[in-house]
Amino acid sequence: MKTYKTLTGWGATSALMLAFVMTGCVSDSIEPNTSDMDDMGSTTPVDKDQGMENPNPVIDQGNTEPEPVCNGCLSSTGACLSGTTNQACGSGGTACVACDATQGEYCGESECVPPPPCNADNCNGCCQDNTCIEVTSDSSCGIGGIECQDCTVAGGTCGDNNTCKPACGPETCEGCCDASGECVSGDTDAVCGKGGQACGACGAEEECEVTSTEGAAIAAGQCVDVGCSATCEGCCDGDTCLTGDLGEACGTAGAQCQDCGDGAFCTDLQACMPKSDARFNLVLLQGIFPEKTVDGDDWDGIIGTLPDPFVRAYYTDLATGDEVSKKSSEVDGTTTPVWNEVLFEGLSAEDLRSDLKFDYIEDDVTFNDTLAEGCAFDDINILFDEQPHVLICGQEKDANGVVTYEGGQFSVQLERVTTTP
């Protein structure tokens, strides 16, 4: 009997079968000698010479869960989207959702999350109801993520540095307030003013006079007249200052020059004075008479017709002390009477200066209604320029100087009739 090297496991079995074949001892049923295998020890199929595990192990082919098809989210049509936008947010192949922009939600890590609180970390403007207002206004003013302020509550505005500044006025502005409500220096002719008042533009004969106060933040000004009337010691011929001591240009203190005419001369006081032998006619020209009385009634009562005005002029005769008067004609049914008639002829300058007065009257059949009586010129000498001059009669004003009733008016003119050289 041949001797074989002892093998273990499948190697021993194979060797045994080979031995039977080679010796011709083949049987229909080959059963290994398990006792011999027991003697050989472990039945683990390991090649002891090579120390290797079974080269043909059986692999377990159990069920394995497939990887997800979509890592983002699925749209309504089944398309796989990234799931990272506010309009389509989600992950793991779930249905996409739209984050609620009205509530400030946004898609963060594929999930709709509420907005972070508005603060200095995420807002350069101001915060209003947890919303960052980048472009500030007078009603929403602030910077650096602070709570927005409504500057209009106190009448203020939102300044260039995005902070509320008070309204321009006497308490906040040393200069003047321009059209936009800004406090400016107010020291130019185009923009002049002070004390927080509204700025104004100076006129053609004005300039902005700056009056700077010691310690004041800005210089301020006010429009002052620098034209002829404000700077001329004589009289003004238009915008030209003249000496004011000539018969054809007489006047003082910046008043308009007067031509004294042939019947008068310019005195040392620079006022026109009639020559002693000059004579004048006093002419009544035209006027305006109110349609209603001061009480709002018709002048003719229930008749309701327009007034019938006339003028009475009077002065004191210096020689006799008697009153000399003259009545004009009545102009029927009008508020704009025209007379062009001579009231007095050949009056001297002394006559004219002796308390010349006028009454303005409405003529009635039964009795007359007087609009005003004792009307007089403040300076009778103005008549000697032989130009028309208007006298206002019957005007009424309240305690504040506001006209409450216009009254009436008429114009008169002197005509020189004789002069002795």
pLDDT in tens, 257-271: 988 877 778 888 888
Tell me whether residue 2 is in a domain: yes
Residues 247 and 218 in one domain: no
In terms of average pLDDT, the best of 32-36, 90-94, 135-139, 205-209 is 90-94
Residues 83 and 68: their CA atoms lie apart, in Å, by 15
Contact 196, 218 (CB under 8 A): no
Residue 148 lies in a domain: yes
Q: Which residue has the tokens 């059949």?
A: 365
Residue 60 included in any domain: no
**Domain end point (choices 240, 266, 292):** 266
Do residues 5 and 140 share a domain? no
Count of structural domains, the chain: 6
Q: Which of 243, 266, 289 is the last residue of a domain?
A: 266
Q: Collapsing DSSP states into helix, strand and coil, what is residue 14?
A: helix
Asked if residue 118 is part of any domain, the answer here is: no
Is 279 found in the same domain as 193? no
Same domain, 161 and 173: no
Same domain, 74 and 178: no
* Other beta carbons less than 10 A from residue 381's beta carbon: 19
Specify the range with the lowest mean pLDDT, choosing from 39-48, 69-78, 119-128, 337-346. Answer: 39-48
Whether residues 38 and 99 share a domain: the answer is: no
Q: Residue holding tokens 């216009």?
A: 406
Of the residues 52, 76, 93, the one at which a domain ends = 52
Is 197 a domain residue?
Answer: yes
Instruction: State pLDDT tens for residues 342-374.
Output: 999 998 888 888 889 999 999 988 889 999 999
Contact 351, 315 (CB under 8 A): yes
Do 83 and 190 have their domain in common? no
Residue 341 in any domain: the answer is yes
Which range marks the domain in which residue 239 is found?
A: 230-266
Residue 183 lies in a domain: yes
Q: pLDDT over 70 for what percent of the chain?
A: 79
318 and 250, same structural domain? no
121 in any annotated domain: no
Q: Are residues 297 and 385 in the same domain?
A: yes
Q: Which of 7-21, 143-157, 229-243, 403-417 has the lowest mean pLDDT?
A: 7-21
Do 368 and 387 lie in a common domain? yes
- Would you say the pTM of this structure is higher than 0.75? no
Are 184 and 93 contained in the same domain? no
Q: Is 85 helix (H, G, I), strand (E, B) or coil?
A: coil
Does residue 382 have a pLDDT over 50? yes
- Whether residue 335 is found in the same domain as residue 381: yes
